[in-house]
Chains A and B, each alone.
Chain A
C-alpha cells in the first residue's frame, strides 16, 4: 500500500492525537476533581481558573469534559474493537469460503440493516439491561459487527481468486494462514477507513444512548450524559453544553479527516 501523506490525514491525526492525549492525561490528572461540588462556584463563566466554566453544582466543566471524553473514547474504542475483530473474522470466513453459510449470514445481514443502528442498540440494551457501561459496550459492539463483516466479506471475496492467493494455496498453505498472512494485509486499505467510520459511529451512538439515559449513568459520566445534564441548564450555563458538544464534534471531525485522508491516499492502491 502506497501511503501518501496528505493534508486531511495530517490534520486529522493532529486533532485526534491532541484529543486522545488530553483524555489520556485526563484519566490520571484533571485540574479539579470532576465530582467535587462547590456552592460558591456555581455557574461560573469560563475563566482562567475554570477554562470551560462551572455547572450548577460548581463542578469544573473542563475536568468533567476530560473525564467524560475518556469514558466516551474508551467505550467507542472497545466497541470498534469488538465489532472489527468479530466482524472481520466473520467477513473473512464467509468471503473466503463462500457457499451456504455465506448466503445465510448475508441474508441475516440484510435483515439487520433494516434496523437503524441506534434502534438495534436500543433493542440489545433493553435485552441486556440499561445503565451499565459494560452492557453498552456489548450492545454497540454487536451492532457494529454486520458493517465490518460486510466490508471485509466483499474484500475477501474479490481477493479470493487472485494469483498470489492461488499460488499460496498451491504451495499448500492452510486456509487460516492464507487469510491471515496473505489476504488480511491487503484489505487494510479498506479496513482502515471503515475503522474510522466505525469509531465515529460509536462515539455518536454512545453519546446518543447516554443522552437518552440508557447508556452510561451516574456516577459514570460520558459526553452524551453530560449533554443531557447540560440541556437542563442551558440558560444558566450555556458553556457546559457548548464545550461538551464541541468535544464530540472534534472527536468525530478528527477521525473523519483521518478517514478522508486514508481514502484519498488509498485510492492509488487497487481493490
Chain B
C-alpha cells in the first residue's frame, strides 16, 4: 500500500491490524495471568482456613476411617498444588466441586443464579452508561457556571445513597404500596421474562443511582479538563460551534477515561448486587454467597468469588479493547 521509499514511514510497514492483534493477544495473556492469580489467591485462602471439609461434611458421623475414605473420594489426600490445578482445570470444564450443605454439584447450583446476577449487573450497567455519559457531557457548562455548586452538592448527596437503602424504600413504595412487583417473589427468568425484568429493573436502579452520580462527576471533570486542551482552541479557531467542539472532538477524547471508569464500575455493581439481591429477594449469586458464607460452604463461596472476580476482570479487558478502538495511541502500546 506504500511505495515504501521514504524511511520516515518505517512504522507503516507494520500494518495497523497487526499491531491491534498483537496488543490484543498481550491483553488476553495478561488477563489469563490475572485470572490465575485471582483464582490461586482465593483457593489458597480457603484451603488455609476451611479445615478438613471431609470432617465438616460428615459432621457428627465422623470417624477416622470414614474421614479417610471421604478424603480419598474428594481427592483431598493429594498435595496442595495438585489439588489447586485439579480444581482449576475442573473450574474451566464446569466441574466446580460439590456443595457441603446442599450436597449438589456447585455448577448446577450456581448456573441459574449466575444468569440472574449477570442480567442484574448488565441492566444496571446499561442504566449507568446511558444516563451518565450524556449527562456528564451536557452538564459540564453548568458546573463552571454560577449554580455549579447545586450540581456538585446534589452529586455528592446522590453518591452517598447506599443501594440497599434505596432498595428498602423502593420495595416499600413500588412493591408493597403500589404493587408494581412483589418483593421476595422473583418470577422465573424463563417462564416470565417480563415480570423478572421489571423486578430486576427496580433493583438495577438502586445500584445505579450512586454509581451514576459518580460517573457523571467523573465524566464532567474529564470534559472540563479536555476543554482546556490546545486542540479545542484549534477546533474553535476553525469555526466549529460549541456542538462541533463537544461532539466532534471532546466527546471522543473523554471516552477513554470514561470507558476505563465504567469498567471499574462493574466491580462496584457486582458489590452492590450482592446486597441488593438480599433486599429484593432476588435469587442470584449474591444471596447464595452470603448464605454459603454463613454455612461455611466453601466450595460454593470459592466458586462464586472466582466467577465474580473473573467477570470484573473481563469487564476490564473489554474496556481495554474498546479503548484501543477509540485511541490509536494505545494500539502501538505493545512495546512501552
Please report A residues at the B interface, Cβ cutoff 8 Å. 7-8, 11, 107-108, 110-111, 113-119, 122-123, 125-127, 130, 200, 204, 207-208, 211-214, 227, 230-231, 234-235, 238, 241-242, 245, 248-253, 256-257, 260
Contact = CB atoms under 8 A, between A and B. Distances in A.
Interface stretch (B42-50, B69-77, B102-110, B111-119): B42-50
B82 interface: no
19 contacts: A108-B37, A115-B309, A116-B267, A116-B312, A119-B309, A122-B305, A123-B45, A126-B293, A126-B298, A207-B164, A208-B274, A211-B164, A213-B290, A213-B294, A242-B169, A245-B168, A250-B160, A252-B160, A253-B160
A238 B309 CA distance: 36
Contacts of B264: 113
B156 A118 contact: no
Given A113-B267, A211-B164, A235 B293 contact: no
Contacts of B249: none
Contacts of A113: 264, 267
Contacts, number: 132
B278 A212 contact: yes
A238 to B, nearest CB: 7
A64 to B, nearest CB: 16
Contacts of B270: 116, 119
Interface in B39-94: 41-42, 45-46, 48-49
Contacts of A115: 38, 267, 305, 308-309, 312
B301 interface: yes
Contacts of B49: 127
B278 A252 contact: no
A128 B17 CA distance: 50
B218 interface: no
B131 interface: no
Contacts of A214: 290, 293-294
A126 B46 CA distance: 9
A122 B171 CA distance: 25
Given A119-B274, A212-B275, A253-B157, 8 more contacts: A7-B149, A113-B267, A114-B38, A119-B309, A200-B160, A208-B271, A242-B169, A253-B156
A12 to B, nearest CB: 9
Contacts of B168: 227, 230-231, 234, 241, 245
A118 B310 CA distance: 15
B274 A122 contact: yes
B176 A234 contact: yes
Contact of A249 (B34, B37, B160, B309): B160
B309 to A, nearest CB: 5
Contact of B271 (A7, A110, A118, A127): A118
A211 to B, nearest CB: 5
B81 to A, nearest CB: 19
B18 interface: no
Contact of A116 (B171, B172, B271, B298): B271
Contacts of B149: 7-8
Nearest to B290: A212
B128 interface: no
Contacts of A260: 152, 156
A250 B46 CA distance: 37
Interface centre among A117, A119, A230, A248 (most CB of B within 10 A): A119
A110 B156 CA distance: 28
Contacts of A130: 293-294
A102 to B, nearest CB: 17
A111 B45 contact: no
